[in-house]
């Protein structure tokens, strides 16, 4: 298990929110890395996945833009030295950016410990992947919404199941040369693709390092509109539990929601955002980190000082509940 997942697992075990926030405050005042940077260098996608807002024509009109590499260099100068992780690709398709490999190399230049790429993978080549790994990429996260040609191409509109299988074959060969490189699958579950998980290993083989099982959630207007989690709840013991157990047997990290939390999160609105606000840094053509932050003239430290972020963090320690009993949309996973 790589250290980034050890950190996440430790965080999941610490149920006291005050302890977590106090630890973040300590890292803040000592000038240590503690933020996760989630970078969308381009707001576009070549797919129109039915469970995603890119399937909505009106959303696509407003969801566009690109960060030039020169802008990303300025952002790196301002923020990358405080990043524990750089995730490239969050709400869009990062492989549409022509300078992707350079962005990865830039993250390594600033010694970010863990760099991950989240993608549908359709534009990747074996040679391109090898270049990214040599530039400093630690992990690739592939999005998948189906495990047959029919379901994959039905949910991932514009995608090709054959192209996806070829990418998996390329990654299997790459793992031989770069065994420390991590392959992660994010599988978004709904009532129509859940049963396919029973033959997960037939599709992905033995080279997967991390599997995240993500229950469908409404993140915007999309073509697919059945957000009920009742089928996932009802079939948890027959479909998910065997897969979770097989992951543990194979040494694969499995990130999955607890069964008892599924129905609780279905209509849950986010309440306490203190942990997310403290560590989450989203960067895209529409904005960078926090409201009012100008990466062209400010740094993490100058903005934090001006906004008194240290004092706000310390205040949040005392305002937070001592337990973490609330179920939230962003923090409802266990790492096994």
Instruction: Quick: pLDDT tens for 129-151.
Output: 999 999 999 999 999 999 999 99
Stretch 161-168: mean pLDDT: 97
pTM of the model: 0.92
Question: Does the structure show a pLDDT above 70 at 267?
Answer: no
* Mean pLDDT computed over every residue of the chain: 91
Instruction: Assign 11 a pLDDT band (cuts: 50, 70, 90).
Output: confident
Stretch 11-38: mean pLDDT: 91
Q: In what order do the strands lie in the sheet with 287-288?
A: 287-288, 280-284, 35-39, 83-88, 114-119, 139-144, 182-189, 210-215, 253-257, 333-335
pLDDT recorded at residue 265: 63
pLDDT recorded at residue 2: 73
Domains of the chain from N-terminus onward: 3-335 (3.20.20.70)
Residue 38 is classified by DSSP as: E
- In 63-211, which residue ranges form alpha helices assigned H by DSSP? 69-79, 100-109, 126-135, 149-155, 161-177, 200-204
pLDDT recorded at residue 325: 44
Stretch 71-81: mean pLDDT: 98
Least confident of 10-14, 88-92, 246-250: 10-14
Q: Please tell me the distance from the alpha carbon of residue 188 to that of residue 146, in angstroms, as a whole number.
A: 8
pLDDT recorded at residue 122: 97
Whole-Å CA distances, 19 to 25, 29, 318, 327: 10, 16, 10, 18
Question: Does the structure show a pLDDT above 60 at 197?
Answer: yes
pLDDT recorded at residue 333: 62
282 three-state secondary structure: strand
pLDDT recorded at residue 115: 98
* Cα–Cα–Cα angle for 290, 39, 91, rounded to 5 degrees: 100
Q: Show the tokens assigned to 174.
A: 């790459």
Question: Does the structure show a pLDDT above 60 at 332?
Answer: no
């Amino acid at each position: 298990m790589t250290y980034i997942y050890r950190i996440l697992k430790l965080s999941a075990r610490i149920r006291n929110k005050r302890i977590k926030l106090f630890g973040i405050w300590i890292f803040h005042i000592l000038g240590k890395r503690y933020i996760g940077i989630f970078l969308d260098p381009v707001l576009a996608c070549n797919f129109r996945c039915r469970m995603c807002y890119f399937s909505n024509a009106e959303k696509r009109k407003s969801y566009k833009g690109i960060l030039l590499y020169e802008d990303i260099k300025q952002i790196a100068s301002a923020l990358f030295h405080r990043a524990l992780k750089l995730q490239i690709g969050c709400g869009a398709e990062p492989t549409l950016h022509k300078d992707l490999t350079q962005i990865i190399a830039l993250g390594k230049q600033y010694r970010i410990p863990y760099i991950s790429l989240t993608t549908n993978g359709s534009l990747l080549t074996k040679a391109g992947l090898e270049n990214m790994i040599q530039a400093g990429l630690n992990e690739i996260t592939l999005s998948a919404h189906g495990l047959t040609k029919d379901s994959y191409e039905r949910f991932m509109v514009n995608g090709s199941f054959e192209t996806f299988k070829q990418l998996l074959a390329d990654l299997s060969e790459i793992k031989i040369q770069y065994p420390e490189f991590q392959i992660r699958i994010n599988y978004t579950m709904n009532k129509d693709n859940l049963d396919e998980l029973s033959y997960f290993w037939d599709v992905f083989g033995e080279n997967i390092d991390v599997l995240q099982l993500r229950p469908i959630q409404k993140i915007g207007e999309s073509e697919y509109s059945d957000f009920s989690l009742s089928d996932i709840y009802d079939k948890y013991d027959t479909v998910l539990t065997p897969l979770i157990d097989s992951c543990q047997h194979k040494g694969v990290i499995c990130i999955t929601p607890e069964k008892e939390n599924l129905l609780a999160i279905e209509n849950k609105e986010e309440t306490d955002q203190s942990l997310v606000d403290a560590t989450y840094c989203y960067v895209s053509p529409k904005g960078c980190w926090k409201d009012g932050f100008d990466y062209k003239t400010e740094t993490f430290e100058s903005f934090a000082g001006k906004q008194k972020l240290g004092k706000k963090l310390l205040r949040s320690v005392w305002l937070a509940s001592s337990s973490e009993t609330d179920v939230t949309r962003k923090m409802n996973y266990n790492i096994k």
